[in-house]
Structure 1
Amino acid sequence: MISKSFIEDMKNKVSIVDLIDSYVPLKKQGKEFVACCPFHSESSPSFKVNEEKQIFHCFGCGENGGIIDFVMEHESISFSDAVETIAAKSGLTVERVYSRQPVQKKSNVEAKLTVIVKNVFSKRGESLTNKYDINSKTISELDLGAAINSQGLQQIINNDLNLKKTSALINFHSGYLKNPSDDMCLVVPLYKTNKQFAGLYVNSPKTPYHIGVKGDDRGLIYNPNKILERNKPIIILPSIIDTIKGYQVGIPNCVGVADTHKKSLTGEMLRSYKANEIYYIVEKDQVDTRQLALDLLASIKTSNNIIGLKVLITNDKINLPNTVAAYGIEVLPDILSKSNTWYDFIGRELTRSQDTNSEKFKAEMSKLLLDTFTQSTKHKDVPLLLHFVAEALGKCSVDINSIFHLASKSISEHVEEDLQRTENELMKKHVEYSNQIVAGIPIKKIDSLTALLILESKGVVEQTMTEDVCSELISVIGENTSLAKVVQLIEDNGYINAVDIKKALGEVEYFQVNNCLQEFMLDDWFLADTKLNISLITKNSNIVETTNLINLSPSI
């Protein structure tokens, strides 16, 4: 377990500006630093970093927190992984505390056994050369291995009951490969974006599978390059084999889908690697292209990660790594130029072999786009993304004007009307919520306490909202308040992020709490005013004398 004192010390030593600037270039603006938010797409910067308060806040999407929160969100990793990452970047040695009888987590034991399996497989890596046309240099650089039903390993595992149980948990039952035909197949070590080992990708001739801690390959992209080159597009190749061969022939920024549970690209994967241009190479015979189009359309419901994606359909005669190997890297731009934007790809696949003049088809497309909007989180880019798709449907139609007006104009008008109706309803809810008085206390004061608790839970400000204080406040204001919900969230999860908070509070309540968090960024007296609210509420309710516990001077 990582020492709490080390975490606090790290927060004090590591500059949030320097850390975030290593991920996103920051620009000084008054007392703060600004940038376009790395967590959502925007053209003007709404992401602000306050060095003195050691906090960041995006006024566009609401993400906020300290150095650990930023790395957790940016790299999609756990709290402890984020601490490890920051420590490594800052040259700090992580301090841990152990009980007298330390008990290893099950996942740690599973990971250690996976490493042992990896080392056994790696010894046979050289045998891959002839079977897969991978040279020795690539095998060595990428630490590739070949699967084997090792009798020695099987004996070691089966002689130890705990190891035998663990082997089943990592999908390597009693030291045996899943299929007899897996012997000598390619095995690729996987790593998360923070370089943490994430198990083995077994390129089984039947169906690829993962050996390692369950779930470690979820949403994972295999990146043999370790570091991606800036200002160059990311190229997602159709298989792990192609990704390795792409690396071997010098294709820059080539990656591959390593999640063995997914058959196509997902929004979660797109979030892992951000770039202005992303090319997804698809082998026509290996992928249901219509289903891929529907999957891509569904991904816009929750995010705009799809922006910048282009899709290139190939066949068995056109293999990108082989073509580059034969004709040189110079042919790459010409090949990529034949790709379609994600929305043109969707339009083409949804209109393929359809009677685009029929009223039935038009009604189906309209319903599909309307359902996508209705089921979305209503993030600000949904209407624009849907409009792109609607226009693409029009371009792919035989009767361009007819389908364009139905799918594009009508959808756009409906989206605008729906947005207006939604905004009016939402505004009404906000007004009703803002006017609430709970136990004689304006709701905004309660939400400011919630904002303070969130900041304290992330270690951004010194703790005032102790368990006792929170319990006493909730006894006054009740369980159906933002404060009570966030307290419960912290008790259940131990650590919270923006997604958890939004889910627990709901859209209106989250918006009001988020406004209070924004006030902390903008108003140096917010902290003092909020702490004064604690004192007034508790004193008026004759619960506890908190005046001596609270420092009312602002944190400036």
Structure 2
Amino acid sequence: MAGRIPPEFIDDLLTRTDIVELIGSRLQLRKAGKDFQARCPFHDEKTPSFTVSPDKQFYHCFGCGAHGSAIGFLMEYDHLAFPEAVEELARQAGLELPSRGETPIKTPSHAPLYELMERAAALYRRQLREHPQANRAVEYLKQRGLSGEIAGDFGLGYAPPGRDFILGQLGRTAAEQGQLLACGLIAEQEGRRYDRFRDRIIFPIRERRGRVVAFGGRLLGDGKPKYLNSPETPIFHKGRELYGLFEALKRTRKIESLVIVEGYMDVIALAQYGMTSAVATLGTATTADHLQQLHKSAPEIVFCFDGDRAGRDAAWKALQTALPLAAGHQLIRFLFLPDGEDPDTLIRRLGRDGFAELVAKGRSLSDFLFDHLAEEGDMASSDGRKRIASLARELIDKMPAGIYRDLALGRMAKLEGLPSGAVARPQRRSRGRGPQKSLPVPLSLVAKAIALLLDNPQLAGLVSQQDDRWRRSTSPGADILVQLLDMLAERPDIGKAALLERWRDHPHFNYLQQISVHPFLADIAEEDLGAEFCGAISRLNEETRKIEWRNAFNQRSVTAWSDEERARLMQQAEAARARRDELP
């Protein structure tokens, strides 16, 4: 999407966005000179090293190396993809996203549907407090051990009995009823329209940004189904959403592990007892989209299933879905509950720490894979082991290169009777999900000029147009320097954040961001920045001049050398000899 949104829109969006206000709405910032500081949200620290610059509209952590624009902050802190971060900033700035593609096709805005869902959620919450028959819902929640606070955190509500509560409140016109149908709040049968959710405890389903996209309802009386979800709608796709993910991300900025459980009440009951990093799929098996969401949210996921046959079959399906994504960047484990237990009853009996200890002992992906195959085959015979190894190979072939594939290949080698050295030893990988600080490396002359320019775009105006030999430099990165200066000639007023965002789709975007906060920049006084940059360009000019002269000179015959060129060579040789003589 970055390449399809006009760069001018991103420029305007970042100009209208105050990064201090944005980050200050999520972190406690304090003034520190002309900048602001806070404890970094991306790594644990006691002394604030996270700095926000209002001048550059850029943030940087001197502890872990995290850095970026307002877009980058939303992507990392709110766990959003680039398009979602841009959309969120545009919404806050009151800007309409431009059409993407060369032949824009107008699609209806879903904003009215999101607004309608929020209004419905508010109505359901109010009924839980005020409706005469809501006491049955309240009693049920109390029996499950839920407090009023946790019910409020998850926005629980109550849908009264009857067929027209929502219809009467939000569907007075034909247009309004059309939107209610589109959202799945009402249904239609034989020309009659009626509320989908009736006499049910209501669980709002929020996407990762916090917008209500659907509802789940638990029936209080007799009848079926006991649990009912919204149907697929323009804003809700059950194969993508995870119940409780927004609440988990809101409570804990740095989630170490996410536990996938079966239903709403499991998620809420675990949160009630302090286990705030549980999510649930919505009446469907785990999908690749679910795993992509989980991959962006935590370095470890633990599938939690009942220990019966149905639970193990569901776990096996989840494993098969996970295999193509199991590169080892994220730990994947499987927890099977004791007979007769569910997450709710187990955490009541063991407490938070006891439940967390049980989660930590979950089986690894490779252990579960081979244990499951062993249950289906004959491990006692050589032929049986070879058959299991053959089945394992079919599954391992679906896995990308990485630690899980290496571990699985090692287990398979043992089954086949191969020596332990038949597969490469798996490498240890970091479990950290936050930005990792790397040691600063010395920068080349070109890289220094680029770093100075990225951090201080106004320096572009100091470049002389009379001597632009540096544009012909073949040094690595010279082409980027040329593009930067050409870009700044067209947009001399652009700031650091907007300038860097124009390079987001470039293969070296991460490197450009890193050198824009390189430690050498901090050693240059503000009044010396211009001289430092002009000096780099001047040295690059001289370096290019020498290389071009040498190349042209070496391409000619000795007999074609002029007297001036011969004299110059003699001078260079004498100077080199003098330098050697001065050496000890």
Tell me, yes or no, whether TM beats 0.5.
Answer: yes
Out of 10, 17, 24, the position equivalent to 2:43 is 24
Q: Flag the 1:210–1:227 CA change in 2: closer, same or farther, 3 A.
A: farther
Please state how far the C-alpha of 1:413 moved relative to its aligned partner.
8.0
Mapped to 2, the partners of 1:240 and 1:290 lie a distance apart of 22
Please report how far the alpha carbon of residue 319 of structure 1 lies from its aligned counterpart in structure 2 after TM superposition: 1.6
2:479 is aligned to 446
CA shift for structure 1 position 404: 6.9
Whole-Å separation in 2 of the counterparts to 1:390 and 1:341: 14
Matching residue of 1:269: 293
Instruction: Give 1:296's aligned amino acid.
Output: A
Once residues 164 and 352 of structure 1 are traced to their aligned partners in structure 2, the CA distance between those partners, rounded to angstroms, is 54
Q: Which amino acid aligns with 1:446?
A: D
1:429 aligned partner:
none
Match of 1:163 among 158, 176, 196: 176
Aligned-partner residue type, residue 263 of structure 2 = S
SS of 2:110's equivalent in the other structure is helix
2:120 is aligned to: 117
**Change in CA separation of 1:147 and 1:82 when aligned onto 2, cut-off 3 Å:** same
Aligned residue among 200, 203, 215 for 1:188: 203
Q: For 1:271-330, what per-residue CA distance to the aligned partner results, in whole angstroms no more than 9, with x for missing partners?
A: 35436x6543112424522222222322224x71x22x4321126512231133356556
Q: Aligned to 1:365, what secondary structure does the other structure show?
A: helix
Following TM superposition, by how much is the alpha carbon of 1:110 offset from its aligned partner in structure 2, in angstroms?
0.5
Pick closer, same or farther for the CA change 1:193–1:402 going to 2, 3 Å: closer
SS state of the match for residue 399, structure 2?
helix
Answer yes or no: is 1:346 the counterpart of 2:361.
no
**Is the contact made by 1:201 and 1:209 (CA closer than 8 Å) also made in structure 2?**
yes
8 Å contact from structure 2 (residues 158, 200) kept in 1: yes
1:153 partnered with 2:179: no
Mapped pair 1:7 → 2:17: yes
Compared CA separation, residues 452 and 239, structure 1 to 2 (3 A): farther
Task: Determine which of 118, 122, 137 is the counterpart of 1:128.
Answer: 137
Task: Tell me how far 1:341 sits from its aligned partner.
Answer: 2.5
User: Which one of the candidate residues 368, 376, 384 is aligned to 2:403?
Assistant: 384
Amino acid of the structure 1 residue aligned with 2:355:
L
Task: Determine whether 1:244 maps to 2:268.
Answer: yes
**Out of 489, 496, 514, which is 1:461 matched to?**
496
Deviates more, 1:237-246 or 1:359-368: 359-368
Q: Which runs of 5+ in 1 are unaligned?
A: 35-47, 88-92, 99-103, 374-381, 395-399, 416-438, 466-494, 537-556
Answer whether contact 1:245 1:321 (CA < 8 A) is retained: yes
Equivalent of residue 185 in structure 2, options 153, 161, 172: 172
Aligned-residue identity in percent: 11
Please tell me whether the aligned partners of residues 158 and 202 of structure 2 are also in contact (alpha carbons under 8 angstroms): yes
1:364/1:51 Cα in 2 relative to 1: closer, same or farther (>3 Å)? Answer: farther
Q: 2:242 aligns with which of 204, 217, 220?
A: 220
Question: Could you say if the C-alpha distance between residues 73 and 362 of structure 1 is closer, same or farther in structure 2, counting changes exceeding 3 Å?
Answer: same
Alignment of 1:274-293 (within 5 A): 274=298, 279-283=302-306, 284=308, 285-286=310-311, 288-293=314-319
Q: Indicate how the Cα distance of structure 1 residues 153 and 292 shifts in structure 2: closer, same or farther if over 3 A, else same.
A: closer
CA separation of 1:460/1:96 partners in 2, compared to 1, >3 Å: closer, same or farther? same
Tell me if the contact between 1:209 and 1:260 (Cα under 8 Å) persists in the aligned partners: no
1:143 counterpart = 2:155: yes
- C-alpha root-mean-square deviation of aligned residues, in Å? 5.6
Normalised by the length of structure 1, the TM-score is: 0.58
Secondary structure of 1:348's aligned partner: helix
Q: Residue 402 in 1 paired to residue 415 in 2?
A: yes
Deviation of 1:21 (Å): 0.8
1:366 aligns to what? 393
* Native 8 Å contact 1:289 1:349 kept in 2: no
- Aligned match of 2:320 in 294, 312, 332? 294
Name the TM-score, length of structure 2 as normaliser: 0.55
Instruction: Return closer, same or farther for 1:139/1:221 CA change in 2, 3 Å cut-off.
Output: closer
1:412 aligned residue: 424
CA offset digits 1:167-211 (Å, max 9, x no partner): 233233458999999533442123455545454344564664468
Query: Alignment partner of 1:412: what SS?
Result: coil
Q: CA deviation at 1:370?
A: 4.0
Displacement of 1:340: 1.4
Cα distance in 2 for partners of 1:214, 1:267 equals 19
Using the TM superposition, give the Cα deviation of residue 109 of structure 1 relative to its aligned residue in structure 2, in angstroms: 0.7
Name the aligned partner's letter for residue 6 of structure 1.
R
- Are 1:324 and 1:331, in contact at CA under 8 Å, matched by a contact in 2? yes
Of structures 1 and 2, the larger Rg is shown by 2
Q: Structure 2: which 5+ residue stretches go unaligned?
A: 1-8, 30-34, 97-106, 129-133, 219-224, 428-470, 522-528, 542-584
* Rounded Cα–Cα distance in structure 2 between residues aligned with 1:85 and 1:25: 27
- Number of paired residues? 426
Q: Residue 191 of structure 1 contacts residue 197 of structure 1 at CA under 8 Å; is this kept in 2?
A: yes
Contact kept, 8 Å, 1:237 with 1:256, in 2: the verdict is: yes
Contact 1:229-1:253 at 8 Å conserved across structures: no
Would the alpha carbon gap of residues 294 and 12 (structure 1) be closer, same or farther in structure 2, given more than 3 Å must change? Answer: closer
User: 8 Å contact 1:6–1:94 — kept in the other structure?
Assistant: no
C-alpha separation in 1, matches of 2:234 and 2:38? 30
Q: Deviations over 1:317-367 (max 9, x none)?
A: 122311333565564356446521333223323443135644454344335
160-169 or 329-338, which deviates more: 329-338
Greater length-normalized contact order (CA 8 Å, ≥ 6 residues apart)? 2
Amino acid at match of 1:445: A
Question: In structure 1, what is the Cα distance between the partners aligned to 2:295 and 2:36?
Answer: 23
Per-residue deviation, 1:105:
7.4
With over 3 angstroms needed to count, the CA separation of the structure-2 counterparts of 1:119 and 1:354, relative to structure 1, is: same
The 3 A distance-change label for structure 1 pair 273 and 520 is closer
Give the Cα–Cα distance (whole angstroms) in 2 for the partners of residues 360 and 108 of structure 1: 55
Which amino acid is the alignment partner of residue 189 of structure 1? P
- Counterpart of 1:107 in structure 2: which amino acid? H
